[in-house]
Amino acid sequence: MNTPPAGSAPTREQQLVRAFVDMADTLVDDYDVVDLLHRLAGYCVSLLGATAAGLLLSDQRGSLHVVAASDERTRLLELLQLQADQGPCLDAYRTGVPVHTDDLAVERNRWPVFAPEALAEGYRSVQAIPLRLRRQVIGALNLFGRDATLLGQENLEIARALADTATVGILQERAIRHGEVLTEQLQTALTSRVIIEQAKGVLFHAGGIPMDQAFERLRSYCRSHNLQLSVIAEDLARGTRDPRTILTRE
């Protein structure tokens, strides 16, 4: 493989390889489902050209929760799909097959609540990919685009492959290492989502920063210090870590 000279930016190919390694890297000790899914949403935006991305994950009751989104407004759009009980992400989850539309304007009948809201956010096209391994569907990935054609065939295939890689990792990891079952694994993911919301509240109030910035601060702090997101979030929410350690920029 060609390695670029030190200091130059990684090529797209290298970035993609890294993304796949990252999505497959669920056997490490500090593996964190919520963080993994946030990174998946991030890659869809930074590498594949989606305008925004959001992820839904099912719990043990079979109801869906928003676990990751590339930004706060997209999180609200995902929530809207859940509340209105309609939208591409739900369709993809229920049918287990990808759902896409190039033009939300013609889908007002199909999704009367979701389509107008997504259009109002400036999105024109949507692609929803089920997180699925064989017959088991655990959630769905939603990609939003400002233009009529979203991603293109090649990027779309990469997005599906990244989602598949992450899904296989999520489904296999606990089974292999701890003999635990999927329901418990998903429950843990959803618990850590709750913890992250609590930690966001801590940083929001302690730092006087907006809620979505609170999450970004937390994530970049954990990344730059090589710490596990859910652990630091829990320390914050339990009051055992001073929020200033995260809020102070070094």
Partner 1 sequence: MTKPEDVADSVPHLLSAVLASLRDGDNGLNPLIRVCQACVSLLPVDGASISVMLGTQHRQSLYASDAVAEHLEEAQFSLGEGPCFEAFDTGRPVLVPDLVQRANHTWPVFAAQISAEQVGAIFAFPLRRGAARFGAMDMYRRTPGWLSPAELATALQIVDIATSALLAVSATGPEGEIREDWLTELVRDRTVVHQATGIVVAEFAIPAEQALARLRGYVFVTGRQIQGVAEDLVTGRLHPRVIDE
Phi, psi of 138 (to 5 degrees): -110, -5
Instruction: Decide if residue 228 touches partner 1 (CB under 8 A).
Output: no
Structure-block tokens of residue 89: 């992400």
Binding region for partner 1 (CB under 8 A) out of 5-13, 76-84, 89-97, 148-156: 76-84
Task: Give the interface size with partner 1 as a residue count (CB under 8 A).
Answer: 36
Contact with partner 1 (CB under 8 A): which of 1, 7, 9, 61?
Answer: 61
Instruction: Specify the 3-state DSSP secondary structure of 131.
Output: strand
189 near partner 1, rule: CB under 8 A: no
Containing 77, the helix (H) or strand (E) segment is helix 72-84
Residue 18 or 178 with smaller CB distance to partner 1:
178
Which DSSP string corresponds to 24-75? Answer: H-TTSTT--HHHHHHHHHHHHHHTT--SEEEEEEE-TTS-EEEEEESSHHHH
d(CA 73, CA 190): 20
d(CA 229, CA 19): 18
Region of 87-95, 121-129, 152-160, 189-197 interacting with partner 1 (CB under 8 A)? 189-197
If binding is defined by CB under 8 A, does position 198 make contact with partner 1? Answer: yes
Q: Quick one: which of 17, 95, 181, 220 contacts partner 1 (CB under 8 A)?
A: 181
- 191-225 burial by CB neighbour count: b if 16+ within 10 A, else e? ebbebbeebbebbbeebeeeebebbebbbebbeee
Among 132, 200, 217, 219, binds partner 1 (CB under 8 A): 200
102 binds partner 1 (CB under 8 A): no
For partner 1, the closer CB: 52 or 56: 56
Using CB under 8 A, list all residues that contact partner 1.
60-61, 65-66, 79, 82-83, 180-184, 187-188, 191, 194-195, 197-206, 211, 233-234, 236-240, 243
